[in-house]
Amino acid sequence: MELYRKNNLDCSKITTKNYSTSFSMGVRILNSKYREGIYSIYGFVRYADEIVDTFTDQDQRVIFEEFRQETYKAIERKFSINPIIDSFQMAVRKYSIDHELIEAFLLSMEMDLTHDIYSPETLKTYIYGSAEVVGLMCLRVFYFNEPEKYNQLVIPARKLGEAFQKVNFLRDAHDDFNEKGRIYFKDIDFDNFTEETKKQLEAEIEKDFQESMEGIRQLKKQVRLGVYLAYTYYIHLLKEIKKARPEEILKKRYRITNTKKSYLLVNAYLKNALNLL
């Protein structure tokens, strides 16, 4: 069983590295005792996202429901033959991850199968489940035996997840709108996307980042650099998006070059070491 568990955790780790070099870099610079839990969470949310975004030639609703059922069965049985779900259920039990967070996440993923245009109400629900609760799951890994500290950091963690997701909406607008017909931002007409509207969205995201930074400063040293690095990557991504004209948002997916990532890593390391955050 030990080898089986190790293999499943390795699957989550490989999934993280293959899907996100930026996120995996942040995980690698966490204290080692936190890495397995974060890899397990990322692998799980990534697979759920793949079901609703990628397998368009399959009955996605049926597949997703099977994924949901297997998740809860695995948590109950303390075992799954699916390596990604098995490593996730281990994290759920080890860190006492609230089932409400899991259900909120699954609900948001399911919404992508039923919603093309999001109202202000559904958008709020979607962002909470797709991003904020993922941040809260990670926060639980960091502070699973420190409930007071966890509760103190809940709001900043949610704000950071919200900011990340909104940046993703702009970064992925090309694919979401042109390929999938999805419009996440309230009252946004991408066929008539103006500079004024774009600036309003960017200001909203910057406010979320500012509020989240208060929480990052309070994180324990073993995890602060990894979280701050992810924050830095997304801040830079937002800067790149801000440089683009509104019509360019729907033409490509914005990325950070590997050279720039290396620079941001060194800069984040120095700021964290010198307590300049």
- Delimit the domains of the chain by residue range: 2-273
Output the pLDDT for position 182. 65
Tens digit of each residue's pLDDT (9 = 90 or more) over 110-150: 998 987 777 778 889 999 999 999 999 999 999 999 999 99
Q: Where does 2-273 sit in CATH, by number?
A: 1.10.600.10
pTM of the model: 0.92
pLDDT tens profile 89-113: 999 999 999 999 999 999 999 998 9
| Chain mean pLDDT for the chain | 92
Determine what percent of the chain is predicted with pLDDT higher than 90: 73
Say what the pLDDT of residue 52 is.
93
Tell me the residue ranges of DSSP E strands in 114-269.
Answer: none
The answer on pLDDT for 64 being more than 70 is yes
Instruction: Judge contact between 46 and 19, C-beta under 8 A.
Output: yes
> Is the confidence at residue 192, as pLDDT, over 90?
no
Report pLDDT for 120: 79
Asked if pLDDT for residue 181 goes beyond 70, the answer is no
pLDDT of residue 31: 95
219 vs 184, more confident: 219
Shortest CA distance to 9 belongs to which of 85, 101, 76?
A: 85
In degrees and rounded to multiples of 5, residue 119 shows phi and psi of: -75, 170
The pLDDT value given to residue 48: 97
Give 7-54 pLDDT, tens digit per residue. 999 999 999 999 998 889 999 999 999 999 999 999 999 999 999 989
Q: Which two tokens stand for residue 257?
A: 């070059």
Count CB neighbours of 147 within 10 A.
11
Q: What per-residue confidence (pLDDT) applies to 98?
A: 96
The span from the CA of 23 to the CA of 115, in Å, is 27
The β-bridge partners of 117 are 183
Predicted local confidence at residue 66, as pLDDT? 97
Question: What are the tens digits of pLDDT across the range 211-248?
Answer: 999 999 999 999 999 999 999 999 999 999 999 888 88
